[in-house]
Chain A
Amino acid sequence: MSFSLHEKEDTIVALATPQGVGAIAVIRLSGKDAIKITNSVFKGKDLEKQASHTIHFGTIRDGDKIIDEVLVSVFVAPKSFTKENVVEISTHGSSFIVNQVIKLLIRHGARPAKPGEFTQRAFLHGQFDLAQAEAVADLIHSDSETSHQAAMNQMRGGFSSEIQKLRNELIHFASMIELELDFGEEDVEFANRNDLKVLVEKLLLAVELLVASFDLGNVIKNGVPTVIAGKPNAGKSTLLNALLNEEKAIVSEIAGTTRDFIEDEINIGGVIFRFIDTAGLRETTDMIEAIGVSRTQEKMKTASLILYLFDLTDTDMVEINRDINRLENQGVPFVKVANKIDKASAEFVSELKAKYPDTIFISAGQKENLEVLKSRILELVNLDKFRTGNTIVTNIRHYDSLVKTRQSLLDVLEGLDRQITNDFLAMDIRRSLHYLGEITGEITTDDLLTNIFSKFCIGK
């Protein structure tokens, strides 16, 4: 991406709320002339004379023609998200009105914003560090409560401070090593190798936790990949639709360019569940039957959760035993869901309850017991820890750097075991510092020397 200096000083405009029909829509402008441009189409108070952080009622007019009655919020630089002059215009939520207003603003000197440009400006003006800027991007794209919290946590610097802590400990470790290298002639006590090993192991554990959190973080951001498996007519579509209708929250259809299937996302208790290959599901492909087919098997493997659905009126224990056996071999957590409880024989139900007490009995058609199913699903993915505010890595770039940091630390540990000398150990430690630096910024040798000089009496 390349911009001219000029482009970076333009006033940009874009719809800030999601496309589509809502009660209101918010149009945002940012740039030196944001207030001036808005003022030129606004009838009400003179916006250029208003204090920052004030809201004003008035109308947007194209000449004499009133487009809409609006509320205008004024943020004067640098006290705004982008640190530039920012105006937010709340219009009525019609895409026609929104388009009219934006076109009008462009005619008066604004330029349509490129994707992410508001965030980029905030970053360029030093509102965020790089990790925080990335979090904003995540925040904008977050569509569930947990994902939102992870992004918020990162934006407020939770992630940065965790890395900072790690960085300080690594610097301490590195300076213990450097001390012996540069000051071997000095009369100071050097760290013994066992202590160093304990320290590396501690660091490694901290990095491991962050690395592991990426999988969780990924789930938060992209949803838990879920498969509903069952024979034709077991009620898979009905269950899916029941869950979809039950949740008024985000339901979307994403036609991926690299994917040849359609996914549905359902928000359950603040966690997104992404139903894989629901297109196939709707065509009532029998996934259990087709378990030997590699493509389906791959799908099952990539799932984090399987809902095994069977029809109480159209199966027997032999079949259920066989399916459950197969699923257990898959190694993916699954929920046994018995459908059509409203039509089932009491005898079969109690037999099942005896054999598989954790079976959940529902009626997808009657929307019966869906709450129990949902709480079981949540229980199974055990996402509670996500909501406690623990640091989670959600950014692939950070993940990548952490994985490399981990590898370097493993090299250090191996080196300690192989009794290699400190200069080689130092090299691996420096590499880990370098990779960690890719997240928060470089660590210089000055940091190491300062640490040494503050702790040890050096010099003849």
Chain B
Amino acid sequence: MFPVYDVIVVGAGHAGCEAAHAAAKMGSKVLLCTMNMNTIAQMSCNPAMGGVAKGQIVREIDALGGMSGIISDKSMIQFRMLNRSKGPAMWSPRSQNDRMKFAEEWRLALEQTPNVDFWQEMISGLLIKDNRAVGVKTGIGVEIQSKSVVLTNGTFLNGIIHIGEKQFGGGRTGESAAKGITEQLVKLGFEAGRMKTGTPPRVDGRSLDYTKMEVQHGDENPEKFSYSDETTTLKEQRNCWITYTNKEVHNSLEKGFDRSPMFNGRIQGLGPRYCPSIEDKINRFSERDRHQIFVEPEGWKTVEMYINGFSTSLPEDVQYEAMRKIPGFENAKMFRPGYAIEYDFFPPTQLKLSLETHLIENLFFAGQINGTTGYEEAASQGLMAGINASRKVQEQDPFLLKRSDAYIGVLIDDLINKGTEEPYRMFTSRAEFRLLLRQDNADLRLTQMGHEMGLADDRRLEKMLDKKSDTAKLINDLKQKKLSPDLVNEGLEGFDTATIKEKITVEKLLKRPQIGLAEVMNLDADIKLYLSKYSKVVLEQAEIQIKYDSYIDKEQQMVEKMNNMENYRIPVHFDYLAITALSAEGKQKLNKIKPETMGQASRISGVTPADLSILTVYLGR
């Protein structure tokens, strides 16, 4: 009934979809297995993509030739560029999305991707031969052969949903949990753990009073995620609203604390500190008398609203009563209560940088199974796992991104070397080179690589190369073009910056904080004419590169310094256990993770600076 597939992907969430798409694009024969074909690419939590650090990841996925950017654009109902007031490295695209459209667009995209087959059923086990993954076994006992397997099970592995004192098995509300895989992997020697996450209630938008809330509009000039021409920016947008909890809400919630699975010990998994439930916020920060609530529409037309900031696993009656004390929610009707979910994950220190497991060859993990949280984090791992499963089958070297290449590189390097105790989310502060890893240059950083792998198409590459050469030409011109005092001094005064005494190049002028290319256009008509030849993207890129070049240079130097450590290779079969001098924890961690370089060793948690000095002594430096 089935051919022998190159890659079988188990799970069709953000990670699974990217994995299946990437592997198929690179010429692998792919089977995508899901428990329900109607829930492909669900946004299980909030109907939004991107945000600080996450928006950069979506841009990176897109630059490599992944789909998340395009799907987000096609289903977008609002766009905002966050952190505009800060430097360009902090600018972060974020969208609100139509949940149903998002899922539909993904499904259509996969259906139109040659080489992707589908199978709807729970996968209950892996076929393993000589420590190598060779297929999967389904719930009804069908065996499907393949050369590699990518597991992207999300919250489904032994998922348990908690609402107050009720608990029941499930991977999402209304969907059953997956059994069998964890048990098999543990038997094979894998270490498994439990994590917890949660989601807020959904309500009927018609029952809310928006006059009591602040409206939050999208950007006046919305942008988009994808660098490609396949998508366009929004002409029309939907609003979100902001409101706040108060003492009354908190008191009401506290009444249910004795029935909270969080506080009575029923939930054992560790939840994320940065995405706490409302009961957690009240409990830990009791001095605060209000917390922010975002009311986000679930789509263009639906009346369903997502109550961001009100994630909870308190009993539904407590949720309902407390919610109605929020300004604007006095008459709110609830569609679905919030809940917490516990699920199995596998500490990612059991993986190689390619996301292949150390224990079983040709078996790859991506997404929440690795202890991460977030659509973007999952999608990027799925992309990398799909790429590397495909390359492994095609007997090519793994495709790895360095910490200085991309947030995706930071993410995977952190997971593999440090593991994670709580659901791992990306922050810009995790990246040591965040001035280089900007949303405006993900294509310049990555598209060439994506093209070489056969993932990003020729059009993407050409577009990137044009942007690159236009930017270089523009910067060069701006270094030559000079402005004279009589022409621009009046304008400069208007911009609240010092006048000039002699001619000055546009490049020099752009270094001033008050002056951007928009200001330069207003200073001189000739310059305006000249600049209008260039696209907005090129103008922005040139401005950023000129304005921040000294900082970018400084960071570039740090990259080179780090690369010294990265290039300092540790022999593959180095025997850490033989070095009595190493700390007990350092020895154990080094032996488990087997870092390829001193740089990687230095980032392993539990490996101390003293351990590193000892290693350097042994390795002969």
Residues of A within 8 A of B (CB): 1-3, 5, 8, 120, 123-126, 129-130, 178, 180-187, 418-424, 426-427, 430-431, 434, 437, 440-442, 444-446, 448-449, 453, 457-460
Smallest CB separation, B602 vs chain A (Å): 7
What B residues does A449 contact at CB under 8 A?
A: 427, 429-430
Indicate if the CB atoms of B273 and A421 lie closer than 8 Å: no
In the docked arrangement, what's the CA distance between A459 and B277, Å?
A: 9
Q: Which residues of chain B in 584-621 are interfacial with respect to chain A, using CB atoms and an 8 Å cutoff?
A: 602-603, 605, 608-610, 613-614, 617-618, 620-621
Smallest CB separation, A37 vs chain B (Å): 20
Indicate if the CB atoms of A430 and B432 lie closer than 8 Å: yes
Binary A-proximity of B257-276 (CB < 8 A = 1, otherwise 0)? 00000000000000011111
Indicate if the CB atoms of B555 and A181 lie closer than 8 Å: no
Is B428's CB within 8 Å of the partner chain A?
Answer: yes
Which of the residues B428, B581, B620 comes within 8 Å of A124, measured between beta carbons?
B581
Indicate if the CB atoms of B52 and A184 lie closer than 8 Å: yes
Which of the residues A120, A431, A459 comes within 8 Å of B276, measured between beta carbons?
A459
What B residues does A434 contact at CB under 8 A?
A: 558
Smallest CB separation, B590 vs chain A (Å): 15
In the docked arrangement, what's the CA distance between A181 and B579, Å?
A: 42
Query: Among the listed stretches B86-94, B222-230, B350-358, which one makes contact with chain A, having 4 or more residues with CB under 8 Å of it?
Result: B86-94
Indicate if the CB atoms of A459 and B429 lie closer than 8 Å: no
Indicate if the CB atoms of B294 and A182 lie closer than 8 Å: no
In the docked arrangement, what's the CA distance between A183 and B423, Å?
A: 17
Interface size class of B (residues with CB under 8 A): 35 or more
Indicate if the CB atoms of B429 and A124 lie closer than 8 Å: no
In the docked arrangement, what's the CA distance between A8 and B294, Å?
A: 62
Smallest CB separation, A46 vs chain B (Å): 27
Smallest CB separation, A358 vs chain B (Å): 51
Is B83's CB within 8 Å of the partner chain A?
Answer: yes
Indicate if the CB atoms of B285 and A457 lie closer than 8 Å: yes
Given contacts A449-B429, A460-B309, contact A424 B87 (CB under 8 A): yes
Indicate if the CB atoms of B610 and A421 lie closer than 8 Å: no
Indicate if the CB atoms of A126 and B86 lie closer than 8 Å: no
In the docked arrangement, what's the CA distance between A342 and B166, Å?
A: 104
What B residues does A420 contact at CB under 8 A?
A: 87, 513
Identify the closest chain A residue to B86 (Cβ).
A421
Which of the residues B288, B428, B617 comes within 8 Å of A181, measured between beta carbons?
B428
What B residues does A418 contact at CB under 8 A?
A: 513
In the docked arrangement, what's the CA distance between A54 and B232, Å?
A: 84
Indicate if the CB atoms of B86 and A458 lie closer than 8 Å: no
Identify the closest chain B residue to A439 (Cβ).
B609
Smallest CB separation, B586 vs chain A (Å): 10
Indicate if the CB atoms of B285 and A181 lie closer than 8 Å: no
What A residues does B272 contact at CB under 8 A?
A: 459
Report 28 cross-chain contacts, Cβ distance below 8 Å, ordered by A residue.
Answer: A1-B617, A2-B620, A3-B617, A120-B617, A124-B617, A125-B580, A129-B609, A130-B610, A130-B613, A181-B428, A182-B428, A182-B429, A184-B52, A184-B86, A185-B82, A187-B292, A418-B513, A420-B87, A424-B435, A424-B548, A427-B551, A440-B609, A445-B429, A448-B429, A449-B427, A453-B273, A458-B276, A460-B311
Binary A-proximity of B308-342 (CB < 8 A = 1, otherwise 0)? 11010000000000000000000000000000000
Indicate if the CB atoms of A125 and B581 lie closer than 8 Å: yes
What B residues does A2 contact at CB under 8 A?
A: 617, 620-621
- The 10 closest A-B CB pairs, nearest first, are A2-B620, A441-B609, A124-B581, A187-B292, A423-B87, A457-B285, A453-B273, A460-B309, A178-B429, A459-B275
Is B112's CB within 8 Å of the partner chain A?
Answer: no
16 additional A-B pairs beyond A123-B613, A187-B291, A458-B273, beta carbons within 8 Å, are A1-B620, A181-B428, A184-B83, A187-B244, A418-B513, A423-B90, A423-B435, A424-B548, A431-B554, A431-B558, A441-B608, A441-B610, A445-B430, A449-B430, A459-B275, A460-B275
In the docked arrangement, what's the CA distance between A445 and B430, Å?
A: 5
Smallest CB separation, A86 vs chain B (Å): 16
Given contacts A130-B609, A184-B83, contact A460 B308 (CB under 8 A): yes
Smallest CB separation, B607 vs chain A (Å): 10
Indicate if the CB atoms of A457 and B87 lie closer than 8 Å: no
In the docked arrangement, what's the CA distance between A182 and B291, Å?
A: 18
Identify the closest chain B residue to A174 (Cβ).
B429
Given contacts A184-B83, A422-B86, contact A427 B610 (CB under 8 A): no
Smallest CB separation, B224 vs chain A (Å): 20
Given contacts A5-B578, A184-B86, contact A427 B435 (CB under 8 A): yes
Binary A-proximity of B44-78 (CB < 8 A = 1, otherwise 0)? 00100001110000000000000000000000000
What B residues does A444 contact at CB under 8 A?
A: 603, 605
Smallest CB separation, A310 vs chain B (Å): 54
Indicate if the CB atoms of A5 and B294 lie closer than 8 Å: no
Is B281's CB within 8 Å of the partner chain A?
Answer: yes
Which of the residues B288, B551, B583, B614 comes within 8 Å of A424, measured between beta carbons?
B551
Is B396's CB within 8 Å of the partner chain A?
Answer: no
Given contacts A457-B288, A459-B276, contact A181 B90 (CB under 8 A): yes
What A residues does B578 contact at CB under 8 A?
A: 5
Which of A8, A126, A183, A426 has the most B CB atoms < 10 Å from its CB? A126
What B residues does A445 contact at CB under 8 A?
A: 427, 429-430, 432
Smallest CB separation, A12 vs chain B (Å): 15
Indicate if the CB atoms of A123 and B610 lie closer than 8 Å: yes
Is B99's CB within 8 Å of the partner chain A?
Answer: no
Indicate if the CB atoms of B513 and A184 lie closer than 8 Å: no
Indicate if the CB atoms of A460 and B294 lie closer than 8 Å: yes
Indicate if the CB atoms of A182 and B427 lie closer than 8 Å: yes
Indicate if the CB atoms of A419 and B617 lie closer than 8 Å: no
Given contacts A184-B52, A460-B275, contact A423 B284 (CB under 8 A): no
Given contacts A185-B82, A430-B432, A449-B427, contact A457 B284 (CB under 8 A): yes
Indicate if the CB atoms of A446 and B87 lie closer than 8 Å: no
In the docked arrangement, what's the CA distance between A28 and B418, Å?
A: 42
Is B221's CB within 8 Å of the partner chain A?
Answer: no
Q: Which residues of chain B in 423-437 are interfacial with respect to chain A, using CB atoms and an 8 Å cutoff?
A: 427-430, 432, 434-435
In the docked arrangement, what's the CA distance between A130 and B613, Å?
A: 8
What B residues does A181 contact at CB under 8 A?
A: 52, 83, 86, 90, 428-429
Smallest CB separation, B435 vs chain A (Å): 6
What B residues does A130 contact at CB under 8 A?
A: 609-610, 613
Is B85's CB within 8 Å of the partner chain A?
Answer: yes
In the docked arrangement, what's the CA distance between A187 and B292, Å?
A: 6
Identify the closest chain B residue to A455 (Cβ).
B285
In the docked arrangement, what's the CA distance between A445 and B53, Å?
A: 14
Smallest CB separation, B475 vs chain A (Å): 20
Smallest CB separation, A448 vs chain B (Å): 6
Which of B429, B434, B551, B558 has the most A CB atoms < 10 Å from its CB? B429
Indicate if the CB atoms of A126 and B291 lie closer than 8 Å: no
What A residues does B429 contact at CB under 8 A?
A: 178, 181-182, 426, 445, 448-449
In the docked arrangement, what's the CA distance between A123 and B608, Å?
A: 13
Identify the closest chain A residue to B88 (Cβ).
A423
What A residues does B620 contact at CB under 8 A?
A: 1-2
Indicate if the CB atoms of A442 and B87 lie closer than 8 Å: no
What A residues does B427 contact at CB under 8 A?
A: 178, 182, 445, 449
Smallest CB separation, A198 vs chain B (Å): 22
What A residues does B618 contact at CB under 8 A?
A: 3, 5
Indicate if the CB atoms of A423 and B86 lie closer than 8 Å: yes
Smallest CB separation, A445 vs chain B (Å): 5
Given contacts A124-B614, A453-B274, contact A421 B551 (CB under 8 A): no
Q: Which residues of chain B in 515-549 are interfacial with respect to chain A, using CB atoms and an 8 Å cutoff?
A: 548
Which of the residues B51, B291, B294, B602 comes within 8 Å of A457, measured between beta carbons?
B291
In the docked arrangement, what's the CA distance between A426 and B554, Å?
A: 13
Identify the closest chain A residue to B46 (Cβ).
A460
What A residues does B551 contact at CB under 8 A?
A: 424, 427
What A residues does B617 contact at CB under 8 A?
A: 1-3, 120, 124
Smallest CB separation, B598 vs chain A (Å): 13
Binary A-proximity of B238-271 (CB < 8 A = 1, otherwise 0)? 0000001000000000000000000000000000
Which of B309, B418, B609 has the most A CB atoms < 10 Å from its CB? B609
Indicate if the CB atoms of B610 and A182 lie closer than 8 Å: no
